[in-house]
Chain A
Amino acid sequence: MKRKWIMLALSLLLVIALSACSSSGSGTSNKKVTLDIFQFKVEFKKQFGELAKLYEKDHPNVKVNITTVGGGSDYGAALKSKFASGNEPTIYNIGGPSDVKDWKAKLSDLSGTKAAKLALPGTLKGVQQGSKVYGLPFNEEGYGLLYNKQVFKKAGIDPNSIKSMDDLKKVSRELDQNKSKLGIKAVYAFPAKETWVTGLHASNVFLSPEFDQDVTKAFESKTVSFKYGKQFKQYLDIQQNYSIQPTASLDYSAQVEQYFSNGKVAMIQQGVWVASTIAGISKDFEKNNVGIIPIPVDGFKTDSIPVGVPMYWAVNSNKSPAEIKAAKDFLNYMYTSDTGKKMVLEKFQFIPAYSGYDSSKIKDSLARQIYEYAQNKKTIGWVFMGYPTGWGQNTLGADIQKYTSGKMSWNALVKDAQNGWKSARNQ
């Protein structure tokens, strides 16, 4: 008899244990506001946590919970399941016009916030609808052709002399001929495997002009014309011909760590985000040896760097007014209070997307160079957030792989990319 009771107890325990998993997180303490933040930037998770602690100290009635899920499509998937589970976050991230469209019913208008008023001109483009602002920019990022200063010096080439695609080709050929003297294996490390490098970043430079550098225009456009397709082809050809081979299996880490940071190639197409990776291999290299030059687009701009906002903060409108207020206050605190600004510049090492920052405090050399381009208005707008979802990577990026492997002609690529865009827009 006794044994039976033990068994019953055991099986009950099992059932309870199983059901307990789903019933956590009930019961809120009085008046205390909890901010659930669901964000994607893995790189600054620790520093962001520090900022949250500081905020909690100043605002004892607010508790900040941060969840971080990394990069790209995984974040979008995780965010959707988070909402589907009913456990909606208060603050989350959106990427641009297509996210605004998808999430519109769950976005608060942030136009009244101090941060929105201080946002640099152009940084709100992707998240604005009329007078409403649905997101606040994280930071600004920029990319271009990073070059190894030492190699260029040794070869006696002035990087600023590259003012057209022909110049770029000439310089590449020259570097290629002196490979062994310069101690490099190839001129470029061209990661065709990383479809975001080719299909999003590289293509952006050449597609941006046809959409007037406006992400919203790209998002609303039913077609893409490849007006600067000839230049785009030329650029890809140069990269492909003078790169470490095979490019179809060359990935980001090989490109940045193995080849560029170790001085095995002269140039790579990358952006400000590689600074910490390069510094991880050699601090000295990062500080003194990395320069950035624009990707020249003949007939458009040959002296400008693509600068844009990678991600925005959004506030869930489906929360209580007190929570929404606290969320806005937290975002203001991060970007407009003195403590927050200091954190943003020194700890997060962001290129600020808001006015009122002391740019001389930017530590990282690449970020400073890009910030200078931005200050001089030598920028090309980011439009790739306005591409049809998945088009940049899965259609264009994959086609570029085919093209560089010699399995597809350029005309076929353009046609396929145009059809892909059209059919995605007409769905």
Chain B
Amino acid sequence: MKDKRTWFWLFLAPVLISLFFVVVLPLLFGIYYSFTDWNGIFLTKFVGFKNYSAVFQNTSFLNALWFTVKFAIVSIIMENIIGLGLALLVTQKFKGNNFLRTIFFMPNLIGGLILGFIWQFIFVKAFAAIGGLIGIKAMESWLATPNTGFWGLVILMSWQYAGYIMVIYIAYLENVDRELIEAAEIDGANAWQRFYQITVPMIAPAFTVNLFLTLSNSFKLYDQNLSLTAGGPYNSTQMLAMDIYNTAFSQNNMALGQSKAVIFFLIVAIISLTQVYYSKKKEVDVG
């Protein structure tokens, strides 16, 4: 018995130690720096909550926060609807469904930065070319206005993540007991009722996982944001992570950037934990 415990900790140790050094320690340091006037090189004094009060008077942070929230809501809905739709499609019995699964999953294998540049090319060059051909002026100015920048990001993210979300839905969909659905069918439930009353509750854990994943992904988005719009035009598509980076590194305001990062951490943690708590409550237990 005692032996088992030793092994348990011994095997856990490498992970715990590295987790401590690369996650916990930097987090503590970060919180510490956010209360100082650190400029990345030197630290002269403690400033208390001055940085934090500055964060909330900082319009670029508030704009980025609002943009991120809007983006998160839209992209969570889009990614999950598309992901679930694709999962339902490829769990039907037809030829080539395995092939389609691979195709749908593929975008997720490409790195975010590269994807951003690919889509930038599509939006700026391909859209403009098509728009020019068929004479729609609006298609020639993608990514040049805040709105197209926003939808560009949503399209990019849905395209990339829907496949990944689909895989998780597939795993749960294939575990739904056929007998339950057949029984419902015999009882006279139509396709929508079977889906909504039987399948959805049965795959509730998948919603928990997927909502969590899409939520935290949308909030922490940086590389796609950077390569697709770089925050432009006029910083209107700047998301939180990018605002933090810019504050810290291009405006050289390390301590302020750090306080933004701490607030960012709190926001993401609170939203994610609340979401997981409520989604978990909704799951049905079919032991």
Contacts and interface: CB of A to CB of B under 8 A. Distances in A.
A411 B285 CA distance: 64
Contacts of B14: 11, 14-15, 18
Contact of B246 (A15, A245, A390, A427): A390
B186 to A, nearest CB: 54
A80 B220 CA distance: 23
A394 B252 contact: no
Interface string A226-264: 000000000000000000011111000010000000000
B233 interface: yes
Interface in B6-30: 7, 10-11, 13-14, 17-18
B246 A394 contact: yes
Contact of A249 (B7, B17, B142): B142
Nearest to A393: B250
Given A11-B10, A83-B41, A390-B250, A407 B143 contact: no
A70 to B, nearest CB: 14
Interface stretch (A329-337, A367-375, A395-403): A395-403
B189 interface: no
Contact of B252 (A254, A390, A402): A390
Interface string B221-256: 000000000101111000000000010111111000
Nearest to B247: A390
Say what secondary structure dominates the interface of chain A: helix
A44 interface: no
B111 interface: no
Nearest to A10: B11
Given A193-B232, A405-B234, A407-B234, A389 B251 contact: yes
Nearest to B124: A249
Contact of A246 (B144, B235, B248): B144
Interface in B54-106: 60
B39 interface: yes
B208 interface: no
A273 interface: no
Contacts, number: 92
Nearest to B250: A73
Interface residues of B, number: 32
A105 interface: yes
Contact of A248 (B39, B232, B249, B251): B232
Nearest to A407: B234
Contact of A402 (B17, B40, B123, B234): B234
B221 to A, nearest CB: 19
Contact of A398 (B40, B143, B234, B253): B234
B283 interface: no
A300 interface: no
A290 to B, nearest CB: 24
Contacts of A254: 124
Contacts of A105: 42
A76 interface: yes
Nearest to B13: A15
A245 B140 contact: yes
Interface string A73-87: 110110010011000
Nearest to A78: B249
B113 to A, nearest CB: 13
A102 interface: yes
Contacts of B217: none
22 contacts: A14-B14, A15-B13, A15-B17, A73-B250, A77-B248, A98-B252, A105-B42, A192-B233, A193-B232, A245-B140, A246-B140, A246-B141, A246-B144, A248-B233, A248-B234, A249-B142, A394-B250, A394-B251, A398-B232, A401-B232, A402-B234, A407-B234
Given A246-B140, A249-B141, 15 more contacts: A18-B18, A72-B250, A76-B252, A80-B40, A80-B41, A98-B252, A102-B40, A102-B252, A106-B41, A246-B144, A248-B143, A248-B144, A248-B233, A254-B124, A407-B234
For the complex of A and B, 4 pairs with smallest distance between CB atoms: A390-B251, A246-B144, A248-B144, A248-B233
Interface of B: 7, 10-11, 13-14, 17-18, 39-42, 60, 123-124, 140-145, 230, 232-235, 246, 248-253
